Structure 1
Amino acid sequence: MGLLTKKQILFHTIFTVIICALKIYQIIFVEGFFGNVFLTIFKKVGLLLVVYWAGILLLSIIKKKLVKR
């Protein structure tokens, strides 16, 4: 038994794509940027996705340990 089911992985992947698209739109058209746009997007979106997926991983590990008991 893995940490996430196929449905959960698919849901979170689709949600990740939506988050990325909205954040990129916000950076380019709302906030603006200085210097390299790709570096700015990579830093902001990358940090957001690392936090999101780390939270999912942490919650799935906790769930797995609680269900095991």
Structure 2
Amino acid sequence: MLVTTRASFPTVPRILNGISLGSRFVIAVGKISLKDEHGTSTKYDYCDVWQLKGGKLHELKAYVISIDR
């Protein structure tokens, strides 16, 4: 399921782990908190997977999971 939300920016993600797989992939795992249009803050875990080609960003896949219960 794809969920789209309006968030107030800027926000600063907190990177907990970073992993490099050779010169082709970089993975970042962390936490972020975003506010919706009503000012309600929601906490998320995230994982970004960057694929590099020629030393430049080629593709980004981002996975975000709400951790507020």
- Which bin holds the TM-score, normalised by the shorter protein? under 0.3
The structure whose Rg is larger is 1
Taking CA–CA contacts closer than 8 Å with sequence separation of 6 or more, which of the two structures ends up with the larger relative contact order? 1
More strand by share: 2
- Please give the TM-score of this superposition, normalised by the length of structure 1: 0.25
- Please give the TM-score of this superposition, normalised by the length of structure 2: 0.25
